[in-house]
Amino acid sequence: MTREDAAAPWSRLWKAGVLHSCATGIQGNYDGAIRAFWERQFDALDDGARVVDLGTGNGPLLLLARERAAARGVGLELHGVDLADIDPVHAIVDGERLYAGIRFHPRTSACELPFADGEVDMLCSQFGFEYAPREQAVAELLRVARPRARIALVVHSDDSIVARVSVEQRKGCAFLRASPVIEHARALVPVLYRAAQARRAGTAPPDGEARRLAFNQAAQALLEAIDAMPGAQVLRNTAQQIRAALEHAARAPEQADALLARLHESLQDEDLRLGHLQDALLGAGELEALAARLREHGYATTHAALEQRPGVKIGWSLEAVRG
């Protein structure tokens, strides 16, 4: 798989206009313990500091950095790097105003940063750094960091709520990969359209019983899977989107079919992104190894479990300061 192929499901997610990919316990931009961690990091920066956000997506972390800088009356030079083909200015409503002064670097690896040696004051990442090849990415951080640079990361942990939810979500995706429910829903669209035409014309509806039966059986299996896997939100979302698409079938069959086709593609993307996430999960030993690598280069490190709310771990935080 090429680098572009691996990034494609993320490119499509960000271009859909979401602000971040982790919705568990977060409303709008980052809040709670995550926000407190980042406020402490950004408040330590001097006026004019260059900040590089790795795996930036649609830039929520950079928006928070700028908000904190404005509250202190200082300015930051903000850069967002992502392997995906990001374009937040056009993906997010009112993006030109929202991201004014922030520079994004799409299709850019954390292992090949577009900065010279020793010219970055802060390297940060929120659920992004750990997706990159770790040794190469660490080496690149060390290359571009100024002598007194700050490194701050929030990364996925293998015992977090995100990890647990991802397991259930992938089970749901596996069910949907094997299920013909979307295929049968698409086959049902013209049946519903012709039946509606016949009703309007006062004529007998065409025969579509076989297609109705096939869809009903697949839909019933989906409902049973929802009951059996209550943690797999993807199943409930799929059922809702199929229902919404079929509501268009009587008057707009092309639109209904397009909605179902996009649903099929989005489920494939979701499964790929969940696979990437699970590959990126860090255990306690891997986190300590990352911190030790930074300490070898003169950084003082602090790392801890990050709870989004009491008893709900969302990942690890890692802070590294040199000088």
At position 228, the amino acid (one-letter code) is: A
* C-alpha–C-alpha distance, residues 276 and 1, integer Å: 13
Q: Are strands 145-155 and 50-54 parallel, antiparallel or unpaired?
A: unpaired
What band does 117 get if pLDDT is binned at 50, 70 and 90?
very high
At position 136, the amino acid (one-letter code) is: Q
Count how many Cα atoms sit within 13 Å of the Cα of residue 30 in the half-sphere of its side chain.
Answer: 25
Interacting residues of 19 by C-beta distance below 8 A, sequence separation 6+: 28, 29, 57, 58, 60, 92
* pLDDT number for residue 27: 43
Percent of the chain scored above 70 by pLDDT? 96
What band does 20 get if pLDDT is binned at 50, 70 and 90?
low
When pLDDT is averaged across residues 280-306 and rounded to a whole number, the result is 97
Give kind and range of the element (H or E) at residue 123: strand 120-126
At position 92, the amino acid (one-letter code) is: I
What band does 31 get if pLDDT is binned at 50, 70 and 90?
confident
* C-alpha–C-alpha distance, residues 105 and 56, integer Å: 9
* C-alpha–C-alpha distance, residues 78 and 61, integer Å: 10
Structural domain spans, the chain: 3-160+281-322, 163-277
On average, the pLDDT of the chain sits at: 93
Instruction: Judge whether 87 and 59 are in contact, CB under 8 Å.
Output: no
pTM to 2 decimal places: 0.91
Q: Tell me how crowded residue 11 is: count the other CB atoms within 10 A of its CB.
A: 19
What band does 1 get if pLDDT is binned at 50, 70 and 90?
low
Q: What is the pLDDT of residues 207-264, one digit of tens each?
A: 889 999 999 999 999 999 999 999 999 999 999 999 999 999 999 999 999 999 999 9
Above 70 in pLDDT, residue 16? Answer: yes
Residue where the block lists tokens 């109705």:
212
Q: What is the pLDDT of residues 85-108, one digit of tens each?
A: 999 999 999 999 999 999 999 999
Domain 3-160+281-322, CATH: 3.40.50.150
Residue 157 carries which DSSP code?
A: B
Residue where the block lists tokens 């771990």:
313
What band does 165 get if pLDDT is binned at 50, 70 and 90?
very high
Above 60 in pLDDT, residue 126? Answer: yes
